[in-house]
Every structure is written in structure tokens, then in C-alpha cells.
């Protein structure tokens, strides 16, 4: 019973995260995008299509593994999101919000 409660608490922590996806980046002929997760206190930055967390602050190893699994399980949707981002429009939106 205690294990289920711990898992439930851990999953609840991850459910309350905000996720952002960058547009497609290119380096050395490779395409990739960044996926960031935050809850205001903790932060993790992953990269797709590798589905690896590159840097993080405040997440434990199990949570980092769950974030990587989330990226793997949702890779197609994350790729579509990254491909749909127009960097020029995003910059113009930021300028209007200032």
C-alpha cells in the first residue's frame, strides 16, 4: 500500500509540470528539438529525437527516467509540435507581449 501511495505522489508531481517544445534546430546536418519541463521550482531540458534529459535541477533519477519515457512514448506528437513552430511568428508574438 505504501508503494502505491509513493508512486501516486510521484506521478502527481510529474502531472503538474509545464512542458514547452522548441522549433526544429539543426546542427551538423542533424535535426533536433528541445523539450523543457518545469513546475516553477524544478527544471529539466530534454532533446528529441534522442529522448534524453540533457540537464536538470531538482528532479531525482526516477523522475528523470519518467520524463525520458514520456518523450519516447510521445515522440511523434513532439516532433509534429516542433515542426509546427514558426520562429518568426514566435518572435513577433514575444514583441507584441512586451
Q: Which residue has the higher pLDDT, 63 or 4?
A: 63
Cis peptide before 95 (omega within 30 of 0): no
CA distances to 5, 9, 31, 97 from 43, rounded to whole Å, are 24, 18, 23, 24
Answer for the pair 13, 39: CB distance below 8 angstroms, yes or no: yes
Which pLDDT tens digit goes with each residue over 13-67? 566 899 999 999 999 999 999 999 999 999 999 999 999 999 999 999 999 999 9
Give the number of other Cβ atoms within 10 Å of residue 62's Cβ.
Answer: 10
Predicted TM-score (pTM) of the model is 0.76
Answer for the pair 36, 19: CB distance below 8 angstroms, yes or no: yes
Amino acid at each position: 500500500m505504501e508503494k502505491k501511495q509513493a508512486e501516486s505522489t510521484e506521478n502527481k508531481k510529474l502531472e503538474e509540470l509545464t512542458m514547452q517544445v522548441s522549433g526544429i534546430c539543426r546542427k551538423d546536418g542533424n535535426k533536433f528539438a528541445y523539450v523543457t519541463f518545469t513546475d516553477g521550482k524544478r527544471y529539466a531540458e530534454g532533446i528529441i529525437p534522442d529522448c534524453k534529459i540533457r540537464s536538470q535541477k531538482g528532479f531525482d533519477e526516477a523522475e528523470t527516467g519518467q520524463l525520458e519515457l514520456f518523450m519516447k512514448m510521445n515522440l511523434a506528437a513532439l516532433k509534429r509540435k516542433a515542426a509546427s513552430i514558426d520562429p518568426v511568428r514566435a518572435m513577433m508574438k514575444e514583441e507584441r507581449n512586451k
